[in-house]
Amino acid sequence: MILSKANLTAAEVAATSKDDARLNQLHVGEDGCTAASNGAVIMAVGPVGVGDAQSMPTLSDEVLPEKAFGIDPTDAATVRKALPKGSKSAGLGYAALTRDDEHAVGLTVVNLDQQHEVVSKKARAPFVPWKESLLLAKRKANQGRVCLTRKQLMKLLKAMDQASGDPEGVVFIEFGGPTDDVLLRSASVETGQHVVGMITAVDTKDHWLKPDAWEKSIMPGVARKRLINPTDMEMDDHDYPQA
Tell me the pLDDT tens digit for each residue of 204-233. Answer: 988 889 999 999 999 987 554 444 333 343
Tell me the pLDDT tens digit for each residue of 143-178. Answer: 788 999 999 999 999 999 999 887 778 999 998 888
Q: Binning pLDDT at 50, 70 and 90, where does residue 142 land?
A: confident
Angle at 130 between CA 128 and CA 131, to 5 degrees: 140
Question: What distance separates the 2 farthest-apart alpha carbons in the chain?
Answer: 61
What gap in Å lies between CA 94 and CA 48, rounded to an integer? 9
The one-letter code for the residue type at 226 is R
Number of CB atoms found within 10 A of residue 241's CB: 12
pTM of the complete model? 0.83
Phi and psi at residue 64, to the nearest 5° = -105, 140
What gap in Å lies between CA 207 and CA 23, rounded to an integer? 35
Tell me the pLDDT tens digit for each residue of 40-69. Answer: 999 999 999 855 665 566 677 889 998 999
> Where does 2-128 sit in CATH, by number?
3.10.150.10
Q: Which residue has the higher pLDDT, 220 or 73?
A: 73
Q: Specify whether the CB–CB gap between 29 and 97 falls below 8 A.
A: no
| H/E run at residue 95 | strand 94-100
**Boundaries of every domain in the chain:** 2-128, 148-199
What gap in Å lies between CA 137 and CA 176, rounded to an integer? 20
pLDDT at residue number 241? 39
Tell me the pLDDT tens digit for each residue of 105-118. Answer: 999 998 777 889 99
CA within 13 Å, CB half, 77: 11
Q: Which residue has the higher pLDDT, 97 or 190?
A: 97
H-helix segments, 86-224: 89-92, 130-140, 150-164, 213-218
| H/E run at residue 73 | helix 73-82
Q: Binning pLDDT at 50, 70 and 90, where does residue 85 land?
A: confident
